[in-house]
Copies of this chain bind each other. A is one copy, B any other.
Amino acid sequence: MPTDNSNMLKVIEDFPLQCRTALELPKGMTVSGKVDKIVVAGMGGSAVGGDLLKIYTHDSKVPVFVIRDYKVPNFIDENTLVFAVSYSGNTEETLSAFEDAQRKKAKIVAVTSGGQLAVMAKKVIKIPSGLQPRAALGYTFFPVLGVLANSGIVDVKGKEIEEMLDILSKTDEFKAVGERIAKKIGLRTPIIYASELLGAVAYRWKTQFNENSKAAAFYHAFSEMNHNEIAGYQSINKNDFVAIFIRDKNDNERVKKRMDITKEIISSRVDVEEVFTRGEHLLSRIFSGVYYGDFASYYLALANRVDPTPVTVIENLKKKLK
């Protein structure tokens, strides 16, 4: 029963290679002048890189905003650096946000494989086409990071990059964990948790389960979930949901303890699976966290006997919107 007709497996396996290629794309591109805010405008798979950038720069003096909407906020001005990210270049929300950012005189860099966005923007990083946007995360993340590094806005060390590529290249280890998680989920709905900092990694898992596996999936962050969502487990049936904790060695000690206790409390109502991010550097820990989920969603697609690549319902919706 082969359902992976477009070979999504190879695309996921090639992710470290994609990252290597993506690292070269922003070479020489800089922005000049004052930058006191960074905005990543995008939707779906093209916005996730923005979420990950926000994690990566969480210690920075320059706030990052990820905007998934038709407009950018009113505090955007000429000192704001806006990345308009649309893999296709034709995402209507992103095109609209791009125009709004232009009206507000922001500095804008477009990251796209083509489409309208490539025509409209003055500064464009062209990325290879032919992938599903969610499978092009390397192409949408590293060019943004590169422009920020080239412009002296963030400091990215070569050893961080090398560690990350080295860890991700051990693909078989990620596959094995992904396969184990998918098997554990079965027909149940996964709820993915991470610390507040890594919440976007949990969100990436959720969206990969939605799009690759065509399955319902949800996410939340610690410790906020301790203040509300945990109460919902009182009425959950063991056959309905599986909880997946993405854990990081640098999680706050109190958050670690919260996760341990929460696991103990909710274990009577759901199975709890744990996945540990890998590496010393934050970049490795972010992308290893993401990579496990990419494989888990892939194997869940196979288990559900759906082709991981096409997202027909999303395409149909776009047609109806025209």
A contacts, CB < 8 Å to B: 37, 43-45, 47, 58-63, 65, 68-70, 73-75, 92-93, 134, 189, 196-197, 206-207, 209-211, 213-218, 221, 223-224, 226-236, 240-241, 252, 254-255, 257-258, 261-262, 264-265, 304, 306, 311, 313-314, 316-317, 320-321
What residues of chain B lie closer than 8 Å to A231, measured between beta carbons?
210-211, 214, 311, 313-314
B75 and A43 form a contact (CB under 8 A): no
A111–B92 alpha-carbon span in the complex (Å): 41
Contact B44 A228 (CB under 8 A): yes
Instruction: Determine the chain B residues whose CB is within 8 A of the CB of A234 once the complex forms.
Output: 214-215, 306, 313
Which 9 pairs from chain A and chain B are nearest by CB?
A44-B227, A207-B228, A214-B234, A210-B232, A216-B232, A210-B228, A218-B218, A69-B196, A68-B224
* Contact status of A313 and B62, CB under 8 A, knowing A43-B227, A215-B235, A216-B232: no
Residues B227 and A314 in contact, CB atoms below 8 Å apart: yes
Q: How far is the CB of A50 from chain B (nearest CB, A)?
A: 12
Q: Is the CB of A261 within 8 A of B228?
A: no
A233 with B60: CB separation less than 8 A? no
Given A60-B75, A74-B60, A216-B235, verify A230-B317 contact (CB < 8 Å).
yes
Residue from the list B43, B216, B221, B257 in contact with A223, Cβ < 8 A: B43
Q: How far is the CA of A216 from the CA of B239 in the complex (A)?
A: 14
CB distance from A141 to the nearest CB of B (A): 17
How far, in angstroms, from A265 to B315 measured CA to CA in the complex?
Answer: 12
Contact of A265 among B92, B197, B218, B316 (CB under 8 A): B316
CA distance A140 to B111 in the complex (A): 41
Question: Shortest CB–CB separation between residue A104 and chain B, in angstroms?
Answer: 11
- Could you tell me if A224 and B75 are in contact, using CB atoms closer than 8 angstroms? no
The residue among A70, A75, A92 with the most chain B CB atoms within 10 A of its own CB is: A75
Closest-CB distance, A248 to chain B (whole angstroms): 14
CB < 8 Å: which of B43, B214, B258 contacts A224?
Answer: B43
Q: What residues of B have a CB within 8 angstroms of the CB of A47 in the complex? A: 224
12 contacts between A and B (CB under 8 A): A43-B223, A58-B73, A68-B196, A70-B254, A207-B228, A215-B232, A215-B235, A216-B235, A235-B304, A254-B321, A265-B317, A265-B320
A228 touches B216 (CB 8 A): no
CB nearest to A228 among chain B residues: B207
